[in-house]
Amino acid sequence: MFDLLLKGSVVLPDRIIEDGWVAVRGERIGAIGTGEAPQATKMIDAGTDWIIPGIVDGQTHATSYKGLPGFEATSQSALAGGITTMVDMPYDNPDPLNTLERFDAKVQAVHDYSHCDVALYGTVAPGQGTDLMQPLADRGICAFKLSLIESHPVRFPRIPADEILDILTASVPTGLPVGLHNEDQEIVRAMIERHKAQGLTRPEHNETSRPEVAELSATAQFMELGAATGAHVHIVHLSSPRGLQMIAEYAARGVRATGELCVHYLHFDAARDIERLGARMKVSPPIRSGMIEDLWQACEDGLPALISSDHSSWPIDNKLAASIFDAGAGIPGLETLGPSFYTDAAERYGEEGAVRRLVDYMCLKPAEFFGLAPRKGAIAAGADADLVVLKRGPKPFDASQTRDGLNWSPYDGETFTASVATTVRRGEIAWDGAQILSTAGSGAFIPRN
């Protein structure tokens, strides 16, 4: 007698079982089968809809606006988006996660507020030294994050190259990847000043003020620091195919180099969408023009390590500025991550092709990357019972109904061809397609293993 049984088209790592079922015992998957199913206390029959693993969103900023209590709304939005594990960035409000105290506080906040599971990035402040890196790694953070450009002097500072070198060196014994926000500060700041001086402050000037070369030169610099130290160097978002290609070239000559894509780069095009969306699509690095098809090809070539949302918890007020340079960067993305990717992929590869790629880039790969496998990322006997029913068929996306407490989105009004009908998080039905059924604090901190 199992506790829960899901029936449907079960998407396993290597195949899809059309007439499949997944049986849950407690928090874990007990069995996977086809045909006659065992008995269970509860049963969800998804028919021919997809049953996929809970999505592992490799990049979120849950607590960068409201601080640690921000987990409450954000984690509900995650579950509504089929995300059962968020990998949260360290740039918390008011202080980043760079000490053991802040680590402990953030883990406590997960246990107090979060509805979904959470893995954590750590960081190192300028001048801090590297002494806490190993202790943080020992407590289970899954990666470190740095930036070559300052967005905020305390939470999101620029780290000088010599300190990056130290941090990379110190990261090697931890085995953890070191992620980088890859924009050259001198280029970006000077370009913005020039734009401002010329009165070029409309939304379309965001792209021109943050040129691709600012990304590529920062990326190349970081790759060389990685090559010199043997560290795992990871670019947390690349807006163009050339960056992914560069990383592949470094990897081919033995550098532990990886790069990540965010789903909005696969969906929006600056030339096409900027007039309509304005600051609503401002992210950093910016969404560029004419990149979409080559980025999809890069995915087909296996170049990204994973695809994430880079969800930011900014209210829309943050976007309403006369100058694009005064508007905040970052967009909400938890409830659109899976459906947007699926919709765009299905146009190119059909529905089965879409769901396979979604599971690959948003479940299997991020779980492996952040050391959360074999618990997370796959439907497998013994794994955590993180399961999502992905319902096939068109559904309009209405941002006013999102659970992130923000209620706006650049995707507002689009129609996706799949929607999240059920989310099971460690055996508990946490989202039923209409309501969040879990309680705050039911989420857990998942240490890297």
The answer to whether 267 and 397 are in contact (CB under 8 A) is no
Give least dist CB 225 to a second copy, A: 6
Q: Which of residues 233-272 bind a second copy (CB under 8 A)?
A: 249
* Closest CB to a second copy among residues 190, 320: 190
- Helix spans in 81-147 (H): 100-113, 133-139
When binding is defined by CB under 8 A, the residue of 42, 301, 381, 439 that contacts a second copy is 381
Nearest to 83 by CA among 95, 71, 98: 71
Q: Candidates 29-37, 198-206, 230-238, 330-338 — which segment interacts with a second copy by CB under 8 A?
A: 29-37
Give least dist CB 338 to a second copy, A: 21
d(C-alpha 441, C-alpha 45), whole Å = 28
When binding is defined by CB under 8 A, the residue of 49, 88, 184, 344 that contacts a second copy is 184
When binding is defined by CB under 8 A, the residue of 43, 125, 172, 191 that contacts a second copy is 191
> How many C-beta atoms lie closer than 10 Å to residue 68's C-beta?
19
Q: Measuring CA to CA, how many Å separate 159 from each of 126, 156, 219?
A: 6, 9, 14
Q: Measuring CA to CA, how many Å separate 93 from each of 77, 149, 158, 267, 270?
A: 19, 18, 17, 29, 30
The answer to whether 303 and 296 are in contact (CB under 8 A) is no
Give least dist CB 15 to a second copy, A: 5
User: How does strand 16-25 pair with strand 2-11?
Assistant: antiparallel
Give least dist CB 24 to a second copy, A: 11
When binding is defined by CB under 8 A, the residue of 41, 104, 108, 213 that contacts a second copy is 213
Contact flag: residue 401 with a second copy (CB under 8 A): no
Q: Candidates 162-170, 335-343, 407-415, 426-434 — which segment interacts with a second copy by CB under 8 A?
A: 162-170
When binding is defined by CB under 8 A, the residue of 25, 111, 256, 348 that contacts a second copy is 25
When binding is defined by CB under 8 A, the residue of 154, 228, 271, 320 that contacts a second copy is 228
Residue keyed to tokens 């209210």 = 315
Instruction: Name the token pair of 438.
Output: 């879990």
When binding is defined by CB under 8 A, the residue of 3, 33, 292, 436 that contacts a second copy is 33
Summary count for the chain: helices (H), strands (E): 12, 16
Q: Candidates 227-235, 290-298, 299-307, 344-352 — which segment interacts with a second copy by CB under 8 A?
A: 227-235
Nearest to 411 by CA among 352, 353, 343, 346: 343
Give least dist CB 399 to a second copy, A: 36
Contact flag: residue 30 with a second copy (CB under 8 A): yes
When binding is defined by CB under 8 A, the residue of 44, 46, 73, 223 that contacts a second copy is 223
Three-class SS of residue 8? strand
The answer to whether 180 and 222 are in contact (CB under 8 A) is yes
When binding is defined by CB under 8 A, the residue of 93, 128, 221, 407 that contacts a second copy is 221
Q: What is the per-residue DSSP string for 390-449?
A: EEEEEEE--GGG-SSS----TTTT-EEEEEEEEEEETTEEEE-SS-B-S-TT---B----
d(C-alpha 170, C-alpha 372), whole Å = 22
Helix (H) or strand (E) holding 222: helix 212-229
Contact flag: residue 31 with a second copy (CB under 8 A): yes
Q: Measuring CA to CA, how many Å separate 186 from each of 7, 149, 150, 165, 193?
A: 55, 8, 10, 19, 11
Q: Candidates 128-136, 161-169, 273-281, 412-420 — which segment interacts with a second copy by CB under 8 A?
A: 161-169
* Closest CB to a second copy among residues 187, 424: 187
Contact flag: residue 131 with a second copy (CB under 8 A): no
Contact flag: residue 13 with a second copy (CB under 8 A): yes
Angle at which helix 241-252 crosses helix 212-229, to 10 degrees, equals 20
Contact flag: residue 138 with a second copy (CB under 8 A): no
Give least dist CB 249 to a second copy, A: 8
Nearest to 123 by CA among 115, 133, 131, 112: 133
When binding is defined by CB under 8 A, the residue of 380, 429, 436, 440 that contacts a second copy is 380
Contact flag: residue 200 with a second copy (CB under 8 A): no
When binding is defined by CB under 8 A, the residue of 290, 302, 353, 374 that contacts a second copy is 374
Contact flag: residue 153 with a second copy (CB under 8 A): no
Residue keyed to tokens 């999240």 = 420
Q: Where do contacts with a second copy occur on this chain (CB under 8 A)?
A: 10, 12-15, 17, 19-20, 23, 25, 28-36, 38, 160-163, 165, 184, 186-187, 189-191, 211-213, 216-221, 223-225, 227-229, 249, 364, 374, 378, 380-382
